[in-house]
Amino acid sequence: MVHSAYDSFELLNDCPTKIDAIESYGSKLLVGCSDGSLRIYGPDSSGADRSPPSDQHALRKEPYALERSVPGFSKRPLLSMEVLESRELLLSLSESIAFHRLPNLETLAVITKAKGANVYSWDDRRGFLCFARQKRVCIFRHDGGRGFVEVKDFGVPDTVKSMSWCGENICLGIRKEYMILNATNGALSEVFSSGKIAPPLVVALPSGELILGKENIGVFVDQNGKLLQADRIVWSEAPTVVVILMPYAIALFPRRVEIRSLRVPYPLIQTIVLQNARRLIKSKNSVVVALDNSVHGLFPVPLGAQIVQLTASGNFEEALALCKLLPPEDASLRAAKEGSIHIRYAHYLFENGCYEEAMEHFLASQVDITYVLSLYPSIVLPKTTVIPEPEKLMDLSQDASQLSRGSSGLSDDLDTMLPQLSESDESEALEFKKMSHNTLMALIKFLQKKRYSIVEKAAAEGTEEVVLDAVGDSFSSTRFKKSNKGRATISVNSAAREMAAILDTALLQALLLTGQTSAALELLKGLNYCDVKICEEILQKGNYYAALLELYRSNSMHREALKLLHQLVEESKSNQSQTELIQKFSPEAIIEYLKPLCGTDPMLVLEFSMLVLESCPTQTIELFLSGNIPADLVNSYLKQHAPNMQGRYLELMLAMNENGISGNLQNEMVQIYLSEVLEWYSELSAQNKWDEKDYSPTRKKLLSALESISGYNPEALLRRLPSDALFEERAILLGKMNQHELALSLYVHKLHVPELALAYCDRVYESVVHQSPAKSSGNIYLTLLQIYLNPQKTTKNFEKRITNLVSSPNTSTPKVGSTASVKGKGGRKKIAAIEGAEDLRITSSNTDSGRSDGDAEEFSEEGGSTIMLDQVHDLLGRRWDRINGAQALKLLPRETKLQNLLPFMGPLLKRSSEAYRNLAVIKSLRQSENLQVKDELYNQRKAVVKISSDSMCSLCNKKIGTSVFAVYPNGKTLVHFVCFRDSQSMKAVAKGSPLRKR
């Protein structure tokens, strides 16, 4: 029984070099040539009559042209290649095994241990690679990234000629016998000998079983090497390669290709003569045969048969089996006949109560789902403009209507029989319910199997329309669109989407009628085309609220869904006995629904989040933060609708990302804190209970915010502070305005906390050091020193200065690091030299540079305030390393005892002495290094060059003789001076040539 199972088509015939390996990747051919290059061929699109292919990722039955050539792809000729589609990788075997990323052929990994390997096998499910090298079998595992990890390495008795994975084991063809290798422990078990002439051949079947070649016979074994059946495939001779493309086995011989059926008794179906065939590989939809310089594609012919007698006699199984084996004369006629057989068989099974088997044949007949749904009149379907294809019903013109009536009569009675039966006999009613349930379950399985292809076509059609609209296709203007309650607009003539709407609407109803509410919910959660009007009515009547919410969500009807959710939440609150509603529809359900909408419709999120803001404040604010809704938008909305939550939102926003909150929002948050603190202050002041050392939680937040953030306006905040309280806040704000003297005066004279003043100086010093390390920042301590030494001057007109500072539009803020020259005399000049006083000077605004040692007397003349000498000594002792010693000594009163300055002067003089000694050592080392360099220079100048009669020029290779010569710095290379000059000229010309070209 021989027929044409495959059509041979020459894909290319002009490969300039000999083909060693071939593989297909999508619709392209990857050809490995004997010169080590990789040539990529694609369909030749130059032909004007080429029709668009049904599958863009499969080989096409048309001539192929060279698209790209990769020279030097491998150093040695390729032995074989394999495309790993699931991982987008190309596996090639040459001198070793290499993996390249597709489609750009980027080298992913090279297994150096596979050098010298002659055969391999890839397990795509687990990502395992096994290969044989000499008498070793190695197993590697792909780690999912760019590398491979060695798993096992086993020794075998002899060289491996063929191998294949079989489950967890590996079948090896070793010389003249087959063995099963346990990939876990390396145990070997013999199967049988492979023959005396032909090499061993291991072929894996899709079922996991194996065909092992023994001369010209193919033996079937399982994964453990046990024989499966007595029948064998008998080839005309021993094949070199066998590939499986169900339901056929295709074998390669030197001069032909044999195609045999995999059904017992494995008859020869077709022989294709191809001279010098070298390689045979299986593609997605075809078989590729490589010759020396050409490539042929074997494309399958659609299977089918017209077995009238078997169909008429009711032997449907035999008829279908023959249809699968015998090719028809006309492909369209074959499809109609085969479909007719399936439909007739399906009606027969349906009438006899075999509902699931009937649906299997309806599915195989490729009949429209509307035809099957006509057997279920209780299912409500949307109106459709789809016209059934006439060729599918061509063979049913005589008896299909009769069969349909006979079968639908059973369904017509589904609604009327139940009451009648219940009145007569309850057992019969129960049996009828069971039958009705079985019919619906069979329908569900049928629709689920049909759904993937129909939904895929509908989605592809929608994508095509979006592309056409984007590029302004001329045909898009003729497509009329209608709205579907929030779903993306669909065209009236969208046949695929109308069919998908019919299928999903019917499937949802069947699932609900059989009590599979969870499956109905899963259907609505994914991509679906349920008719909104019909499904909404059904779900509302049945109180399927969760499914109704998913219906609204899938159709982008978010406002309707949120209204329903809010209604359900309110009903749950009013009726506490409905524990199920409370669990399903709590306020958190609204928040969960809003999360995906933050990026698409933030205003809708803000609108409905107000409904649950009071009951779930933390979760709602986290929704704003995690949803990346613009902070300014949320803040303005909260300010208008929920001002009491505004501060909490800004707190969490700042804690989450300090840089993610703008200066305006920082300023607003500080203003909110300040308003609460002022209100708290007013209440305590009215009760005469105010104490500057009291700290409420809000005041602690205010102080922390004032210190940590910098986006607020300190002048505006300073105007709001009372004049007789909140001195710590005032000091921080003055510090932000660089009014360090006023800020320190508050810490010292108002708050009376020198530790806060010292901490303030440390912050200023460290901030200046981090920003500009080379800049002096020690003057802030001198400012504090002045405040301690002259209390009355710093407190004089204090409030007036602050008032003028706030009211002045252009406040001048002297910087701590500004410098002015200071002159000293005597010992103080030496101390200034020790510390580098020329680099560390203070401003005249901070220190009175003209004050002498006797200026301490002016303190007593200006007022009776006591100099804070204890604080001065403490400051100098604790921060001696940050204070300019010369300036500090100049500020001190002359009656200051030297003993009190020991904590300050001791470490200062010690550090200066150490620095002086270190610099002296460095200076000596520099001088010694200078002498060494000079000595080396003198030695280099003493070099002697001897010219003999054998001395040759390194450039022209002629003798030097008595000519003028030059010596290279290495002292050995000799050249004629003329040659040296010419070479330098050539270099200059070479360097200047690009400029002349420009």
Phi, psi values for residue 107, rounded to 5°: -70, 120
pLDDT in tens, 381-418: 888 755 454 334 444 434 333 333 333 333 333 333 33
Same domain, yes or no, for 273 and 337?
no
CA-to-CA dists, residue 858 to 664, 854, 864, 869, 894, angstroms: 48, 8, 10, 16, 12
Alpha-carbon distance of 938 to 931, in angstroms, equals 11
Contact predicate 511/517, CB 8 Å: yes
Find the radius of gyration of the CA atoms of the chain: 46
The arithmetic mean of pLDDT across residues 317-323, rounded, is 61
Question: Is pLDDT of 488 > 50?
Answer: no
Is there a contact between 15 and 295 (Cβ–Cβ < 8 Å)?
yes
Least confident piece of the model among 70-74, 88-92, 401-405, 677-681: 401-405
DSSP letter at 256 equals E
Mean pLDDT of 772-786: 66
Mean residue pLDDT across the chain: 75
Q: Give the per-residue pLDDT at 901.
A: 78
Phi-psi region of 900 (alpha: psi -120 to 50; beta: other; left: phi over 0): alpha
Q: What are phi and psi of 262, to 5 degrees?
A: -90, 5
The strand pairing partners of 128, in sequence order, are 123, 141
Lowest mean pLDDT among 178-187, 632-641, 958-967: 632-641
Phi and psi dihedrals of 677, rounded to 5?
-65, -40
Q: Give tens-digit pLDDT for 22-70.
A: 999 888 899 999 888 899 998 887 654 455 565 667 888 888 988 888 8
Q: Domain check: are 329 and 268 in the same one?
A: no
**Same domain membership, residue 104 and residue 76:** yes
Instruction: Please report, rounded to a whole number, the percentage of residues in the chain having pLDDT higher than 70.
Output: 73
Residue 626 CA to residue 620 CA, distance in Å, equals 10
Is there a contact between 142 and 111 (Cβ–Cβ < 8 Å)? no
- Residue range 606-617, pLDDT digits in tens: 777 777 777 777
Asked if residue 692 is part of any domain, the answer here is no
Do residue 67 and residue 186 come from a single domain?
A: yes
- Alpha-carbon distance of 33 to 14, in angstroms, equals 12
CA dist 289 and 252 (Å) reads 8
What total of structural domains would you count in the chain? 5
pLDDT digits (tens, 9 = 90+) for 617-627: 777 777 777 76
Full domain range(s) for residue 370:
319-390+437-458
pLDDT higher at 745 or 955: 955
211 shares its domain with 353:
no
Between these two residues, 968 and 739, which has the higher pLDDT value? Answer: 968
Mean pLDDT computed over 689-695:
76
Task: Give the DSSP H or E segment for 282.
Answer: strand 279-282
Q: Are the beta carbons of 595 and 612 closer than 8 angstroms?
A: no
The H or E element spanning position 241 is strand 241-245
> What pLDDT is attached to residue 923?
93
Domain membership flag for residue 465:
no
Q: What is the mean pLDDT of residues 317-333?
A: 59
For Cα atoms 440, 441, 442, give the angle at the middle one, nearest 5 degrees: 90
Domain-embedded: residue 473: no
574 burial class (0-12, 13-18, 19+ CB within 10 angstroms)?
A: exposed
Per the listing, tokens 């009807």 go with 557
HEC assignment per residue over 951-995: CECCCCCCECCCCCEEECCCCCCEEEHHHHHHHHHHHHHHHHHHH
Please tell me the predicted confidence (pLDDT) of residue 894.
Answer: 75
Evaluate whether residue 39 is within a structural domain.
yes
Peptide bond into 103 cis (omega under 30): yes
Mark whether 878 and 928 lie in a shared domain.
no
C-alpha 532/C-alpha 548 separation (Å) is 10
* Residue 135 lies inside a defined structural domain of this protein: yes
Tell whether the model's pLDDT for residue 112 goes beyond 60: yes
Report how far residue 584's alpha carbon sits from residue 592's, in angstroms, rounded to the nearest whole number: 12
The answer, yes or no, to whether residue 529 has pLDDT greater than 60, is yes
> 191: helix, coil or strand?
strand
Q: For a pLDDT cut of 90, what percent of the chain falls above it?
A: 12
- Asked if residue 751 belongs to a domain, the reply is yes
Is 90:84 a contact under the CB 8 Å cutoff?
Answer: yes
Residue 769 lies in a domain: yes
Q: What pLDDT, on the 0 to 100 scale, is given for residue 618?
A: 73
Low-confidence winner among 285-289, 419-423, 988-992 (lowest mean pLDDT): 419-423
CA distance 71 to 237: 38
Do residues 276 and 367 both lie within one domain? Answer: no
Residues 161 and 198 in one domain: yes
The pTM (predicted TM-score) of the whole model is 0.43
Distance CA(105)–CA(25), nearest Å, equals 12
Report if residue 51 sits inside a domain.
no
**pLDDT of amino acid 818:** 37
- As a whole number, mean pLDDT of residues 876-893 equals 76
Q: Write out pLDDT tens, residues 906-948.
A: 787 888 888 889 999 999 999 999 999 999 888 877 778 888 8
Q: Are residues 255 and 288 in the same domain?
A: yes
pLDDT in tens, 696-750: 777 777 777 777 777 677 777 777 777 777 777 777 777 777 777 777 777 777 7
pLDDT of residue 753: 76
- Nearest one of 810, 754, 816, 743 to 779, comparing CA atoms: 816
Enumerate the β-bridge partners of residue 202: 212
Residues 6+ apart with CB under 8 A from 220: 209, 210, 211, 227, 228, 229, 231, 232
Based on the fold, state whether residues 154 and 170 are members of the same structural domain: yes
Question: Are 135 and 185 found together in one domain?
Answer: yes
Determine the pLDDT at residue 921.
Answer: 93
| pLDDT 10s digits, 348-391 | 888 888 888 889 888 888 888 888 888 888 888 888 755 454 33
**Residue 140 near residue 154 (C-beta atoms within 8 A):** no
In this prediction, residue 480 has a pLDDT band, given cuts at 50, 70 and 90, of very low
Same domain, 113 and 182: yes
Residue pair 156/137 in contact (Cβ under 8 Å)? The answer is: yes
Strand order in the sheet with 295-300: 6-12, 295-300, 287-290, 279-282
Between 100-114, 595-609, 822-836, the lowest mean confidence (pLDDT) is in 822-836
Q: How far apart are CA 444 and CA 371, in angstroms?
A: 15
Bridge partners of 8, per DSSP, are: 298
Residues in the chain: 998
> According to the model, what pLDDT value does residue 992 have?
61
**Which DSSP helix (H) or strand (E) runs through 698?**
helix 697-708
CATH of the domain at 191: 2.130.10.10
Q: Are 649 and 626 in contact (CB under 8 A)?
A: no
